[in-house]
Structure 1
Amino acid sequence: MLKFENVTKTFNDGSSTIEAVKDTSFSLEAGEFVAIIGPSGSGKSTLLTMAGALQTPSDGEITIDGEKISQLSQKQLSKIRLSKIGFILQASNLVPFLTVEEQFKLLKKKKDDVMSDESLNALYDQLKLNDIKNQLPGEISGGQKQRAAIVKALYTNPAIILADEPTASLDTENALSVVKILKEQTKAQNKTCIIVTHDERLTEYCDKVFKMTDGVFEEIT
């Protein structure tokens, strides 16, 4: 589902070259729920942006759902992101002036192959969001926003879900709840999910845990 082959990412900083991601190879299958941990500046977010087709590697090849993306144009990468990637961000990517329900109506206008109304309503029930469907993001709690963001990430039927510090602003109870829900949905819908996190409490729920240190990527469990 997601494959990195000898991928590197470098940036120029004046006369210096920064190796944000050093030679990295790994593959993940559908249904896998994994975490990437490591300190700030270790390269985690850079790796995640490449996995999400937001950046291309300096060298190497990335394959998403069977399609090699490293040489694609920005227009082609945009299509990959819309059709194959679901993003969950630390600050939930909800449009502030649309109600929770309107978020999904907007997505449906952009993409034909979205979750059925029946499946969406089932997720509303499971994630206890029925009572807030007609509220704006500013009117609901942090935990509700993150649960809505999970539904939004799943709604477009992506192959891969990428979550960047999705629990950073949540207390322990809500953080663990969000991760459990995300894992359940990853397994139930046979997605590949990567969580980038500083919170090592969350790793016990993961199938695999990777660590990044100074651009070096390695599996630790």
Structure 2
Amino acid sequence: MLEFKKVTKSFKDGDRTIEAVKSTDLTFHKGEVVGIVGPSGSGKSTFLTMAGALQTPTSGRIIINSKDITEMNQKQLSQSRMAEIGFILQATNLVPFLTVKQQFVLLKKHSNQVLKDNTLSELMDKLGLSTIKNKLPNEISGGQKQRVAIVKALYTNPSIILADEPTASLDTDNALEVMNILKQQTKDLNKVCLVVTHDERLKSYCDKVYTMEDGKLSLETVER
């Protein structure tokens, strides 16, 4: 579970104070895919970086699985990110000189709670990645890279998946395939999944959609 309790984030810009995120009270539950949409500069990325323990709020509290991360020091925050958060970025964040298989070997060296080898193999099979395990990132397609990024995000067995514009560089077929996979894995593995996007195509894959404007989140009605 991820909770925001009266969370705000503001920045100084000369003599002005910019409220990037206005007071927010929200709870995100396991098994939910939540979309956050809005124009550039609306506060979406700031919201996501706070949810990912990369920024601390100006005021309020952020709770991950009953732990108040706003009370943590930098070392504790780093440990919390590794244990609880899986990031999926637009750029996929794959190491260019490592094969797909080696990406996971590297992760395993830095975490003691990764998925078992047979679970990883099953997930790779399910996402159609078994045949590319020994290929480098520049040898696979954009859709395949994003699917690998999804598996990487799930590999450390986090409670929360944070996806920042995960389909921005993909065509419609690949974008919808990636979103369908992300939703299915969120349900199957009982994760919290937040998707920040400009992509209106993705709304129908979300259980809830919030629009962010001038730092304020408003719940939309999702059309099915």
TM-score, length-scaled by structure 1 = 0.99
Post-superposition Cα deviations, 1:88-144, rounded to whole Å, max 9, x if no partner, equal 000001111111100101111111111011111011111111111111111111101
1:90-109 counterparts in 2 under 5 A? 90-109=90-109
State the distance in 1 between where 2:19 and 2:143 align. Answer: 36
**2:70 aligns to what SS in structure 1?**
coil
**1:70 aligns to what SS in structure 2?**
helix
Match of 1:171 in 2: 171
Match of 2:20 in 1: 20
1:54-93 counterparts in 2 under 5 A? 54-93=54-93
Amino acid at match of 1:164: D
Shift of 1:13: 1.1
Identity %: 65
Give yes or no for the alignment of 1:135 onto 2:138.
no
Post-superposition Cα deviations, 1:60-100, rounded to whole Å, max 9, x if no partner, equal 00001111011211111000100000000000011111111
What root-mean-square deviation, in Å, do the aligned CA atoms of Structure 1 and Structure 2 show?
0.7
Match of 1:211 in 2: 211
1:47-58 counterparts in 2 under 5 A? 47-58=47-58
**2:83 aligns to what SS in structure 1?**
helix
Structure 1 gap ranges (5+): none
Match of 2:190 in 1: 190
Give yes or no for the alignment of 1:2 onto 2:2.
yes
Amino acid at match of 2:211: K
Amino acid at match of 1:206: C
Amino acid at match of 1:93: N
**1:102 aligns to what SS in structure 2?**
helix
Give 4+ residue runs of structure 1 displaced > 3 Å after superposition. Answer: none
Give yes or no for the alignment of 1:43 onto 2:46.
no
State the distance in 1 between where 2:94 and 2:63 align. Answer: 28
Shift of 1:219: 1.2
TM-score, length-scaled by structure 2 = 0.97
Amino acid at match of 1:62: I
Amino acid at match of 1:154: L
Shift of 1:24: 0.7
State the distance in 2 between where 1:59 and 1:177 align. Answer: 38
State the distance in 2 between where 1:124 and 1:133 align. Answer: 9
Match of 1:148 in 2: 148
**2:128 aligns to what SS in structure 1?**
coil
State the distance in 2 between where 1:69 and 1:219 align. Answer: 25
State the distance in 1 between where 2:185 and 2:22 align. Answer: 32
Match of 1:111 in 2: 111
State the distance in 2 between where 1:191 and 1:143 align. Answer: 22
State the distance in 2 between where 1:160 and 1:138 align. Answer: 28
State the distance in 2 between where 1:54 and 1:197 align. Answer: 19
Amino acid at match of 1:136: L
Amino acid at match of 1:20: A
